Amino acid sequence: MRIRLQLIGDGSDGNAYRVDLPTYANAVTNETTRRAFADVPAVDVPADVAAFVSAYPTVDLTTPLPVPFPASLANSWADFLARRYDLGNARWHPEVY
């Protein structure tokens, strides 16, 4: 699933810009807007996040979302990934941005 996400990191050595997910491919980034398009495996995207992404499609890395990504969805996605990768706690904190 192609999702526009917030980048983390500051671009310095040892803290490169990146997507905050365990697995993704084909990232296209814009460090100025701190956004990236990335292909995220469907098994790593819970249904409620997939529904949000489908309801608010984005076509570029500059236009803001029409509504903010709810904190409740960000938290549930982090918890989902922690369970999926058997971490016991939320390590990744992806946000649709």
* SS3 of residue 27 by DSSP: strand
DSSP string for 7-22:
EES-SBTTB--EESSS
Q: What is the pLDDT of residues 7-16, one digit of tens each?
A: 999 999 999 9
Give 96: exposed, middle or buried? Use CB within 10 Å, 0-12, 13-18, 19+: buried
pTM for the predicted model, two decimal places: 0.85
Q: CB–CB of 21/97 below 8 Å?
A: no
Q: What is the pLDDT of residues 10-34, one digit of tens each?
A: 999 999 999 999 999 999 999 999 9
